[in-house]
Amino acid sequence: MFNFDFYNPTRIVFGNETISRLDELVPAAARILLLYGGQSARANGTLREVRDALGSREVQEFGGIEPNPSYETLIKAVDQVRTHRLDFLLAVGGGSVIDGTKFVAAAVGYEGDAWDILETRGASIRRALPFGTVLTLPATGSEMNNGGVVTRRATQDKLPFRSAYMFPQFSILDPTKTQTLPTRQLANGVVDAFVHVIEQYLTYPIDARVQDRFAEGLLQTLIEIGPLVLKESADYNTRANLMWTATLALNGLIGAGVPQDWSTHMIGHELTALYGIDHARTLAIVLPANLEIRREAKRAKLLQYAERVWQISQGDEEQRIDTAIQQTRMFFESLGLPTHLSAYKLGTDAIDALINQLDTHHLTALGEHKNVSLDVSRRVLEASL
């Protein structure tokens, strides 16, 4: 096991009828900016419920944070916070709204171009406004971690950022607040969480037994939940289990002390930036091909994955690995997520453009061994045609 630090001070308030807890969780004198996405938060009453719980506190709103939140939009929220001297942010939404809120929290106190706080840009985040979240879409885990991803539309850059100051003070996880989500978004959430786990698990063995068991438990749970999300998605327990699983898939726990990959995410980000494909859908395209192309380096863990997660015991090693990758692909397809670029009418021209973007972003040595070069990424994309 590698040495590690694990620190996660976000308070999770989980269950139905928990939005009223905002009154105890938000400081009484807070001057609040309420950030949200489209009009669904207003239409389904969640925004009203949040404002009611905040009582007589000063609350301003900032709506319109888009999926894959953009720098161009968020910088307006930064202006609003500065202009009105607001001092607490409250995100109501899914990963995009929460990621965007994190960016605003850090950018408000940053002097200079806030774009520079993104990971490959070099500036470090030294403080952030306090913020909390009300989660309405289980998937990204942003509600209990200190990272985010922001896109700059002008340049089609989609870049991550991370800071010790970026943990939500609290996150309210009320499964009933996901009731109006379409099945497509729930299915995306299942795949997003699944691939988050895979990126931290399917690398190489280092005798980190609990991390492996926890990762396998999350994967098994998602495999069980997948069909339920499609068939009985209104069931409280199904949504509750998806919500808590997705949170634990990316809160630092299963990644502590183990190697991590993340190449599927980095390649997928470019697919979203260039072609507007939903984040989870990019992962469904890239992961099976990535496992196929890099099966030698991942052999030991692929065999463990086959045995423990998919209960595959038949065949020789190559066959068991083939079956595991095939099961993974079929799981994504069964949830309605295509696993080939062709489903989006993308071909070899698109691959050239994607490789060019990876090069521009210096993403030329990805993966747990830092050996996923542009050439390897190209082969992964070709295998996903």
The neighbour count for residue 339, using CB atoms within 10 Å, is 21
Q: Is 336 left (phi over 0), alpha (psi -120 to 50) or beta?
A: left
The minimum distance between CB 162 and its own copies, in angstroms, equals 16
Query: Site residues (CB under 8 A) for its own copies?
Result: 1-18, 207-210, 213-214, 216-218, 220-221, 224-225, 237, 240-241, 244-245, 248, 253, 256-257
Looking at the DSSP bridge assignments, the partners of residue 161 are: 148
Q: From the CB of 11, what's the least distance to its own copies, in Å?
A: 4
CB of 379 to its own copies, least distance (A): 34
Q: How far apart are the first and last CA of the chain?
A: 37
C-beta of 60 vs 220, nearer to its own copies? 220
Do 384 and 341 form a contact (C-beta atoms < 8 A)? yes
Question: Which burial class, exposed, middle or buried, applies to 200 when counting CB atoms under 10 A from its CB (0-12, 13-18, 19+)?
Answer: buried
Residue 209 or 345 with smaller CB distance to its own copies: 209
Q: How far is the CB of 14 from its own copies (least distance, A)?
A: 5
Least Å distance, CB 143 to its own copies, is: 12
- Of the pair 10, 373, the CB lying nearest its own copies is at 10
The number of residues in the chain equals 385
> What phi and psi values does residue 355 have, to the nearest 5 degrees?
-65, -40
Cβ distance to its own copies smaller for residue 10 or 156: 10
Q: Which is nearer to its own copies, 15 or 338 (CB)?
A: 15
Q: Judged by CB, which is closer to its own copies: 7, or 314?
A: 7
What burial letters (b/e) apply to 229-249, b meaning 16+ CB within 10 Å? bbeebeeeebbbbbbbbbbbb
Taking a C-beta distance cutoff of 8 angstroms, is the pair 351, 378 a contact?
yes
Amino acid at 348: T
Give 17 or 316: the residue with its C-beta nearer to its own copies: 17
Closest CB 309 distance from its own copies, rounded Å: 11
For residues 279-299, one letter each, b for 16 or more C-beta atoms within 10 angstroms of the residue's C-beta and e for the rest, the string is bbbbbbbbbbbbbbbbbebbe
Q: Min. distance of Cβ 15 from its own copies in angstroms?
A: 3
